[in-house]
Amino acid sequence: MYAALWKVLPGTVWLKIAILTAAALVIVTGLMLFVFPAVNTAISVREVTVTP
């Protein structure tokens, strides 16, 4: 799978590395900002206070 990805990408080795690095940053940022908070809302316990 990673070999196929490497062949599909255009340009020199350094361009490929730059593209992959940028893609990794976008993916990680998306996970941190949107996916993980959404999962947290779905699975975590919300109520820790005592209320009437």
Smallest distance, other proteins to C-beta of residue 10, A:
42
Stretch that binds other proteins, among 1-9, 12-20, 22-30, 41-49 (CB under 8 A): 41-49
d(CA 27, CA 20): 10
- As a whole number of angstroms, the distance between CA 24 and CA 6 comes to 14
**Token pair for 37:** 């908070």
| Cβ closest to other proteins, residue 12 vs residue 49 | 49
DSSP assignment letter at 7? H
42 scored as a contact of other proteins (CB under 8 A) = no
Interacting residue ranges for other proteins, rule: CB under 8 A: 40, 43-52
